[in-house]
Chain A
Amino acid sequence: GAVVSQHPSWVICKSGTSVKIECRSLDFQATTMFWYRQFPKQSLMLMATSNEGSKATYEQGVEKDKFLINHASLTLSTLTVTSAHPEDSSFYICSARRLQGADYEQYFGPGTRLTVT
Chain B
Amino acid sequence: GIQVEQSPPDLILQEGANSTLRCNFSDSVNNLQWFHQNPWGQLINLFYIPSGTKQNGRLSATTVATERYSLLYISSSQTTDSGVYFCAVGVDYKLSFGAGTTVTVRA
Contacts and interface: CB of A to CB of B under 8 A. Distances in A.
- Where chain B touches its partner, the secondary structure class is strand
Contacts of A110: 40-42
A106 B41 contact: no
Interface stretch (A43-51, A63-71, A73-81): A43-51
B66 to A, nearest CB: 19
A104 B41 contact: no
Interface residues of A, number: 23
Contacts, number: 54
A91 interface: yes
Nearest to A45: B97
A106 B100 contact: no
A58 interface: no
Given A43-B86, A44-B97, A104 B92 contact: yes
Interface of B: 30-31, 33, 35, 40-43, 45, 48, 50, 86, 88, 90, 92-100
Interface of A: 2, 32, 34, 38, 42-46, 49, 91, 93, 95, 97, 103-108, 110-111, 113
Q: Closest 10 CB pairs between A and B?
A: A108-B43, A104-B31, A105-B48, A111-B41, A43-B97, A44-B97, A110-B42, A43-B99, A104-B93, A104-B92
